[in-house]
Structure 1
Amino acid sequence: MSELYPVRLIPVFKDYLWGGTKLKTVFNKKSELNILAESWELSANKDGQSIIANGKYQGYGLKEYIDIVGKEIVGTKGLALDDFPILIKFIDAKKNLSVQVHPDDEYATCHDGANAKTEMWYILDCNVGAYLYYGFKKDITKQEYQDAIRSNTITDVLNKVPVHKGDVFFIPAGTVHAIGAGILICEIQQNSNTTYRVYDYDRRDKDGNKRELHIREALESSNLKKSTYSNSVLDGDDIILTQCDYFTVRRLKVQNRVQLRIDKTSFHSLIITDGSGELYMGGEILKLNKGDSIFIPAQNNEYTVSGPCEIILSFL
Structure 2
Amino acid sequence: MYILEPESRERIWGTPRLHDYSGDQQIEKIGSVYSASGVSEIDCGIVNEEKTFSEMIAENPGKFGLESGEVYPLIISFTACDENLSIQVHPTDEYAQKVEQMPYGKSEAWYFINSPEKGWIYAEQQIPEKSIILEAAKENNYPKILKEYPVAQHDLIYIPSGTIHALTKGSLVYEIQQATDITYRFYDYDRIDKNGKKRDLHVEKAIATLQPDKQVEKRTFESGETVNQREFTIQHLKGKQIVENNSDVASILTIIAGTLVIAGTTCQAGQSIVLLKDEMFELPDTVEAVLATPTKYWKK
Selected match of 2:230 from 245, 249, 261: 245
SS of 1:133's partner is: strand
The alignment partner of 2:14 has SS state of coil
Query: Is 1:71 matched with 2:61?
Result: yes
Q: Of the candidates 12, 31, 35, which is equivalent to residue 41 of structure 1?
A: 35
Say whether 1:302 aligns with 2:285: no
Residues 65-104 of structure 1 correspond to what in structure 2 (within 5 A)?
65-68=56-59, 70-75=60-65, 78-79=66-67, 82-104=70-92
Name the counterpart of 1:119: 108
Report sequence identity in percent: 26
Matches for 1:111-260 after TM superposition, within 5 Å: 111-113=99-101, 116-138=105-127, 140-225=128-213, 227-235=214-222, 237-240=223-226, 242-254=227-239, 257-260=240-243
Amino acid at match of 2:43: Q
Query: How big is the shift at 1:286?
Result: 5.3
SS at match of 1:144: helix
Aligned AA (1:238): G
> Match of 1:206, SS?
coil
Amino acid at match of 2:62: E
State the SS of the aligned residue for 1:121. strand
- Normalised by the length of structure 1, the TM-score is 0.86
- With over 3 angstroms needed to count, the CA separation of the structure-2 counterparts of 1:206 and 1:30, relative to structure 1, is closer
Letter in 1 for 2:15: G
Query: How far 1:45 moved relative to its partner?
Result: 1.2
Unaligned runs of 5+ in 2: 295-300
2:263 paired with 1:269: no
**Structure-2 change in CA distance of 1:93 and 1:303 (3 Å):** same
After superposition, the C-alpha distances for 1:38-73 in whole angstroms (9 at most, x for unaligned) are: 11111111112000013xxx23210111223x1123
Q: Distance in 1 between matches of 2:281 and 2:6?
A: 23
Q: Which amino acid aligns with 1:289?
A: Q
Residue among 5, 9, 21 paired with 1:10: 5
User: Is the CA contact (8 Å cut-off) linking 1:130 and 1:183 kept in structure 2?
Assistant: no
- Give distance in 2, aligned partners of 1:60 and 1:80: 17
* Structure 1 counterpart of 2:52, from 49, 53, 61: 61
Superposed counterparts of 1:279-290, under 5 Å: 284=263, 287-290=266-269
Aligned residue identity for 2:229: C
The count of corresponding residues between Structure 1 and Structure 2 is 293
Give 1:222 shift: 0.1
Alpha-carbon distance between aligned partners in 2 of 1:166 and 1:296, rounded to the nearest angstrom: 25
In the alignment, is residue 311 of structure 1 matched against residue 289 of structure 2? yes
Query: CA–CA distance in 2 between the matches of 1:315 and 1:245?
Result: 11
User: Matched residue of 2:21: which SS?
Assistant: coil
Residue 113 of structure 1, CA deviation: 4.7
Which deviations, in whole Å up to 9, do the C-alpha atoms of 1:88-120 show, x marking residues without a partner? 111111111000001111111111355510111
User: Per-residue displacement from partner, 1:64-83 (whole Å, max 9, x unpaired)?
Assistant: 11223x112322xx437732
Runs of 4+ aligned structure 1 residues displaced above 4 Å come to: none
For the residue of structure 2 that corresponds to 1:67, the secondary structure is helix
Give the stretch that moved more between structures: 152-161 or 216-225.
152-161
The 3 A distance-change label for structure 1 pair 128 and 198 is closer
Q: Contact 2:117 / 2:169 at 8 angstroms: preserved in 1?
A: no
Give the match's secondary structure for 1:260.
strand
In structure 1, the partner of 2:17 is 22
Aligned counterpart, 2:298: none
> CA 1:201–1:128 in structure 2 vs 1: closer, same or farther (change >3 Å)?
closer
* Residue type of the alignment partner of 1:62: F
Asked if structure 2 preserves the Cα contact closer than 8 Å seen for 1:8 and 1:52, the reply is yes
Measured on the aligned residues, the alpha-carbon RMSD in Å equals 2.0
Deviation at 1:203, TM superposition (A): 1.0
Closer, same or farther: CA 285–263 of 1 in aligned 2, 3 Å: farther
Whether the 8 Å contact between 2:188 and 2:199 is mirrored in structure 1 is: yes
Q: CA deviation at 1:229?
A: 3.8
- Tell me the amino acid that sits aligned with residue 243 of structure 1: N
